[in-house]
Amino acid sequence: MSSDVNPGDLAIVGYPFLPIGMGEHARSTFRAFRAAGKTAGLLDVADQKGEVDADLDRDFSPFLAPSAAEVNLFCVNGDEAARVIETVGRKAFDSAYNIVYPAWELARYPECWAKVLERFDEVWAPSAFIRDAIAGAVSKPVVHMPLAVDLKLSAFLGRRHFGIPEDAFVVLFFFDFSSFADRKNPAAVLEAFERVAARRPDANIHCVIKSRGGSDADEAQLALEARLAALAPRAQAIYGDLSDNEIKNLVRVCDVFVSLHRSEGFGRGMAEAMAMGRPAIATAYSGNLDFMTPQTSLLVDYDLVPVAEGAYPHGDGQVWAEASPEHASRLIEQLLDDPAEARAMGARAKAHIRQNFCVRAIGQRYVDRLAAIRG
């Protein structure tokens, strides 16, 4: 995993090989630049490097660069930025134009992280929700730059690969136990499915909950397992790390992606489902509203509630959404009862993502912004 690539005038700094959201953040950004005819160097600043997915190794290792460039785009979060600047080196950082491209999931950005963002020349915000949160906390320019939704598959995998019933109507959700599961709110997705299952005891429906980061002693995981067991054989869990190709295929083989998140910075799970032509049901709040519209998706009613103590970093005094499992359950039934409209909605969603959030469209926004900076 080393190369002699010269990053030239642009380097993307981040975690191109990690199976996490910010890893995909860097990968999709790199692909978007390439789709717009701009090749960047990749600077891997992960502090822990494990086994690398073979597909990611093939796609990104040839572009690894040993150092920063004239312009550096940091696909890292505010709490990581200070460490990453030191990894890059202060001299290299101070002599370059540096852009930070962070995620964030609440309406107000933490003051302590905002101070670190002030070290950069400008901030790119993956959604209008993040832009509004950060713009009130920093003096530097904050530019709305949506993420690209890129669905490159190295191979097609069917339901059998995941142990999913071939003929069922399948509801999918995935989340990370190690990344503040309260924000993702998997319990609400299960409650919505439980309501459908109770009303439709004979319906051929199936729920898949994909998670990572839990442990056998984790109370939240044990509670999740108990609820899934009570729904058996109409539900299953998939644990651990899947390859990039497996995750994308898992989305592809399901019928609807349901997210009753309390808040999202962007909402890649919903966006990728829509790009695959699958309907998405999600809380009508936060970053996912960049790409989820009433014509292309199904949005769930919610109430704003205080963030519970300890539920999320810097959540004191903040609010987020409490989605309605009852409303979500009715929307699942709506798709179940009208397969033709479900297919039509999936087609509208796919066209919407392809037109507005494909790698070429987003890459051109990136290139135009860099041209403006140089101008």
CATH code for the domain of 85: 3.40.50.11930
- CA 88-363-75 angle, to 5 degrees, is 25
The DSSP bridge pattern shows strands 235-239 and 205-212 to be parallel
Give the burial class of 16: count Cβ atoms within 10 A of its Cβ; 0-12 exposed, 13-18 middle, 19 or more buried. Answer: buried
In this prediction, residue 374 carries a pLDDT of: 86
- Which of 192 and 4 is assigned the larger pLDDT? 192
Looking at residue 297, the DSSP 8-state letter turns out to be: S
Tokens of 297: 């998706």
Residue 15: closest CA among 41, 51, 43: 43
Q: Does 6 score more than 60 pLDDT?
A: no
Tokens of 80: 């990581």
Cα–Cα distance between 170 and 250 in angstroms, integer? 11
182 plus 257 within the same structural domain: yes
Cα–Cα distance between 15 and 26 in angstroms, integer? 7
In this prediction, residue 177 carries a pLDDT of: 75
Indicate the SS3 state at residue 69: coil
Residue range 80-94: mean pLDDT, rounded? 96
- CA 291-210-292 angle, to 5 degrees, is 10
Tokens of 208: 């898949």
In a domain, 254, yes or no: yes
Total tally of structural domains belonging to the chain: 2
113 plus 171 within the same structural domain: no
Cα within 13 Å of Cα(20), Cβ side = 17
Q: What pairs with residue 239 in β-bridges? A: 211
91, 66 in Cβ contact below 8 A?
no
The model's pLDDT over 286-344, given as tens digits with 9 standing for 90+, comes to 999 999 999 999 999 999 999 999 999 999 999 999 999 999 999 999 999 999 999 99
Tokens of 251: 């989305």
In this prediction, residue 352 carries a pLDDT of: 97
297 plus 363 within the same structural domain: no
185 plus 130 within the same structural domain: no
Q: Does 73 score more than 60 pLDDT?
A: yes
Indicate the SS3 state at residue 102: coil
111 plus 205 within the same structural domain: no
Cα within 13 Å of Cα(286), Cβ side = 30
Q: Does 60 score more than 70 pLDDT?
A: yes
Cα within 13 Å of Cα(141), Cβ side = 12
Task: Kindly indicate the confidence band of residue 51, based on its pLDDT and cuts at 50, 70 and 90.
Answer: confident
What mean pLDDT value characterizes the chain? 93
Residue 69: closest CA among 31, 46, 43: 43
In a domain, 5, yes or no: no
- Residue 188 sits in a domain of what CATH number? 3.40.50.2000
25, 75 in Cβ contact below 8 A?
yes
Cα–Cα distance between 194 and 197 in angstroms, integer? 5
In this prediction, residue 4 carries a pLDDT of: 39
Residue 272: closest CA among 260, 264, 280: 280
In 89-239, which residue ranges form alpha helices assigned H by DSSP?
Answer: 90-94, 111-117, 128-135, 159-162, 181-184, 186-199, 219-231
119 plus 178 within the same structural domain: no
| Residue carrying structure tokens 């910075």 | 265
Length of the chain: 375
In this prediction, residue 220 carries a pLDDT of: 77
Computed from CA positions of residues 44, 50, 51, 56, in that sequence, does the dihedral angle turn out positive or negative?
Answer: negative
In a domain, 367, yes or no: yes
Residue range 27-45: mean pLDDT, rounded? 95
- pTM of this prediction? 0.92
Q: What pairs with residue 207 in β-bridges? A: 171, 235
**123 — phi, psi (to 5°)?**
-120, 135
In a domain, 154, yes or no: no
258, 192 in Cβ contact below 8 A?
yes
| Residue carrying structure tokens 């993307």 | 12
The model's pLDDT over 146-167, given as tens digits with 9 standing for 90+, comes to 999 988 788 999 999 999 999 9
165 plus 314 within the same structural domain: yes
In this prediction, residue 216 carries a pLDDT of: 57
136 plus 258 within the same structural domain: no
193 plus 342 within the same structural domain: yes
88 plus 230 within the same structural domain: no
**Which residues, in sequence order, are CB contacts of 63 under 8 Å at separation 6+?**
3, 5, 30, 39, 40, 41, 42
- Which of 21 and 253 is assigned the larger pLDDT? 253
266 plus 348 within the same structural domain: yes
Range of the domain at 264: 159-356
